[in-house]
Amino acid sequence: MTGRNGYRVAASGAWRDEEDGHRLPSGEAHAWEPGRNETVCGLSLARSGLVRLAGVPWADALPESGGAADRVRRVCPRCASVAGRRGPDARPRWRRTNPRP
């Protein structure tokens, strides 16, 4: 597993890159942990018809990353909030500036 977390991509579709032959996500992307049968947001992989892409890290499925996100049309907001979303549209983390005594 690469990166700081072990999240991978489960997507509604997949396509094959002509240059290197790797399968990449398309359609709607969800975060998924290998060894589990559901996404981070709780969708069942089999019942939802999602394709597991164990070779694609979650960070590469975000459209702002470029990488493997060429054909990703939507990123699940619940998965993005759990697995992390970095980019220009990411909200800053909540922080208390003036705590009560």
> pLDDT tens, 24-38?
999 999 999 999 999
What are the residue ranges in the chain where pLDDT is below 70?
Answer: 1-5, 67, 85-94, 101
Over 31-61, what HEC string results? EECCCCCEECCCCEHHHHCCEEEEEEEHHHH
pTM of the model as a whole: 0.76
